[in-house]
Amino acid sequence: MIEDNPGDARLVRELVHDAPDLAIHHVGTLAEGLNSLSGGGPDVVLLDLGLPDSSGLDTLRAILGAAPTVPVVVLTGQDDEEVGRMALREGAQDYLVKGMQLETILIRTVRYAIERKRSQLRLIERNATLSAVLESTAFPIFAVDADYRYTGFNQAHFQAVKAASGVAIRRGDRLPDHLADPAVWEAMRPHLDRALQGESTVLTTDSGVEGLRRRTFEIAYQPVRIETGGIIGVAVFSRDVTERARSEERDRFARALLELLNRPDPETTLIRDILQLVKKSTGLEAVAIRLRDGEDYPYFLTNGFPAPFVEKERTLCARDDQGAILRDGDRKPILECMCGNILRGRTDPALPFFTEGGSFWSNHTSELLATTTEEERMSNTRNRCNAAGYESVALIPLRGQDGIIGLLQLNDHRRDRFDPEMIRFFEGMGASIGIALSRSQAREDLRRSAQQWSATFDAIDDIVCVLSPGHEFLEINRAGCRALGMAREEILGRKCYELVHGTQAPIPGCPCMRSLATGTPASGEHTEGGRTFSLVSWPSLGTGGRVISLAHTVKDITDIKQAQVQHDLLEEQLRASQKMEAIGSLAGGVAHDFNNLLSVILSYTGLAMEQLPQGDPAMDDLVEVQKAGERAAELTRQLLAFSRKQVLQPSILDVNQVALGLQKMLRRILGEDIELVQTLDPGIGRVKADQGQLEQVLMNLVVNARDAMPAG
């Protein structure tokens, strides 16, 4: 207490005597008071403005300057209330009029002064902290009152408004006066009005600029309330959430893509849906996928590219004037343009248009072509993308389990559609797409293989089935179903011996039993119902050599068996015929030579008979020689007929005589096991024919009869 009047000082001491938490240190001058404050200071100062060394508000100012954090309660006389009110405006917490019921209000006033000052200090501290935070915040923050006048703003908002309108805002300015676009005010006002009614709003909007310059903002409109709960304005917080929005978009894209990739769709459907998703998610004008097809990488599907462009760019293999594929030193096809670089892995991350992940990208293809050489671009570029007006182009490799299987192409006529983060994201997605397409191609190959196997399986005329080690049908072809007269569904799962043979166990000699026992193929034959079947089994082995299934074929070989018997018979007949032909050839040769000798004998015999006189005893001998020669000539003629080498001489013949003349030769041909019986018709007429031919006919009949009776 700084009070120069001892009576007033004593009165104050008496009034606070009963308050245990209050202790008074009394001084009588300003100098003593300032000295006391410099030593640590009291919790509150009771100050008389009329002191020996100072008076009036200057005294208050001196105390507040020395101890700005200590609350001051001014003591005034009864005629100084106006001074007290002025003291409040200068910074005093309160004032007391001496003699005005101090006993009832002194202690309460002191305590309130202390508490109010502490509250003020806390508020000042919080405001200072808040102000520092707001000023250090990069995103704009401002507040307006119910008339939309600025009550506060941070530096970020100040700079944003100044950059947009060219005018520096001040507290008290109306917000709509500083918005360059009236549409922005029309969009903001409903949210401000709702906040003035107590409703908080958070919304997301963008800058309206396309491409990488587009920014996404989250704007919050919060009511500003006083301690009594009343609303005095609106605080608006604006945050740039572009990166978060992009991250969320990419997360949504990745989830949608993974859902697509996990669907068991055909490859064409899968790629079509992937391209639609990429185009929709990125807002790009044109997207495409190239996939390996033999030695080339043609467009598999495109979305957004004009048809003439696709037709010109469909394939990548370089060709000569005759259309033959050009090859490099390793005999690999030369793939043209930048796509060829990506597919062959010819990239250099040191160049700005290539990445560590093996991709190519450019936001300005015209500038790229103007500032780089083909050597730097590492390929003979066709430049059709740039010629078609595409400024933003990206090529992302699709990596499967066996390396690069294709690429994802992203094109847009607008510039600045890509950034490194976006390319890295699509490189990751490209790996997922590549693996999924590899799986899809494997599934498609497996499906085609299964179709081919099924078609081949059912096209086999023999019965083919797959059996379990317990002899249950696991699969059976169409021929097996026809043989059993049942549908495949009725057969599968049933035991083969029960269904086919009607037995309770496999039949004796079943090759499947041997395969189960040995783990090796087995075969055999089985006759049932007058039919003979060839049976073969091939075991399929699992781990440890255990038989896990049996491929079993059943072929009806009845006709083959019968044909084999007939074949053996015909083969025997052929051998006999060949033997007879050989004999006939030999006989013909001998008969021809012998006939020449007989001609000489008969000629000389005839000459000798002409030279002998009538009645000569030698004549009878020569006649016998002549008869023997003629008989020999007849025999020779028969041999020639047998060998089919005689000259045709038709004449009138007695068939009975011809047959009788052949009797001895036919007996020799037939052998001892076959009896020759001739039954001659005496009334048969004579015929004109070549005797040798007629004899040949008779011999053929006899030979055929002999061949039909091999056992005699």
Which residues does 603 contact at the CB level (< 8 Å), separation at least 6? none
User: What phi-psi label fits residue 386: left (phi over 0), alpha (psi between -120 and 50 degrees) or beta?
Assistant: alpha
- Tens digits of per-residue pLDDT, 142-175? 989 999 999 888 888 888 888 878 889 998 999 9
Distance CA(663)–CA(699), nearest Å, equals 10
Asked if 653 contacts 663 with a C-beta cutoff of 8 angstroms, the reply is: no
Of 234, 300, 314, 236, which is closest to residue 272 (Cα–Cα)?
A: 300
What confidence score (pLDDT) does residue 590 get? 76
Q: What fold is seen in the domain 273-446?
A: Beta-Lactamase (3.30.450)
640, pLDDT greater than 60: yes
Average predicted confidence (pLDDT) for the chain: 85
In order, the DSSP letters of 168-237 are: ---TT-BGGGG-S-HHHHHHHHHHHHHHHTT--EEEEEE-S--GGG--EEEEEEEEEE-TTS-EEEEEEE
Of 66, 62, 1, which is closest to residue 28 (Cα–Cα)?
A: 1
In order, the DSSP letters of 36-104 are: HHHTT--S-EEEESEETTEETHHHHHHHHHH-TTS-EEEEE-TT-HHHHHHHHHHT-SEEEETTSSHHH
Asked if 611 contacts 563 with a C-beta cutoff of 8 angstroms, the reply is: no
484, pLDDT greater than 70: yes
- CA dist 158 to 155, 168, 365, 534, Å? 5, 7, 39, 98
Question: What percent of the chain is predicted at pLDDT more than 90?
Answer: 30
pLDDT band at 101 (very low <50, low <70, confident <90, very high): low
Note the pTM of the prediction, 2 decimals.
Answer: 0.51
Radius of gyration of the chain (CA): 62
Asked if 547 contacts 519 with a C-beta cutoff of 8 angstroms, the reply is: yes
**Lowest mean pLDDT across 421-430, 467-476, 619-628:** 619-628
Q: What fold is seen in the domain 6-132?
A: Rossmann fold (3.40.50)
What confidence score (pLDDT) does residue 612 get? 87
569, pLDDT greater than 90: no
What confidence score (pLDDT) does residue 660 get? 87
Q: Three-class SS of residue 134?
A: helix
Which residues does 688 contact at the CB level (< 8 Å), separation at least 6? 650, 651, 652, 653
- CA dist 329 to 294, 332, 476, Å? 19, 7, 52
**Lowest mean pLDDT across 253-262, 578-587, 678-687:** 578-587
- Residue 599 CB neighbours (<10 A): 13
Distance CA(395)–CA(408), nearest Å, equals 6
Residue ranges matching CATH 1.10.287.130 in the chain = 558-646
What confidence score (pLDDT) does residue 213 get? 56
Q: Three-class SS of residue 649?
A: coil
Reported residue count of the chain is: 712
Q: What angle, rounded to 10 degrees, do the helices at 267-282 and 420-459 form?
A: 160
Asked if 174 contacts 149 with a C-beta cutoff of 8 angstroms, the reply is: yes
Which CATH number applies to 558-646?
1.10.287.130
671, pLDDT greater than 90: no
Is the domain covering 138-240 a CATH 3.30.450.20 domain?
Answer: yes
Asked if 706 contacts 672 with a C-beta cutoff of 8 angstroms, the reply is: no
Q: What fold is seen in the domain 460-556?
A: Beta-Lactamase (3.30.450)
Distance CA(490)–CA(470), nearest Å, equals 18
Residue ranges matching CATH 3.40.50.2300 in the chain = 6-132
DSSP-H helix ranges across 219-294: 242-261, 267-282
Residue ranges matching CATH 3.30.450.20 in the chain = 138-240, 460-556
611, pLDDT greater than 80: yes
What is the mean predicted confidence (pLDDT) over 433-461? 84
Residue ranges matching CATH 3.30.450.40 in the chain = 273-446
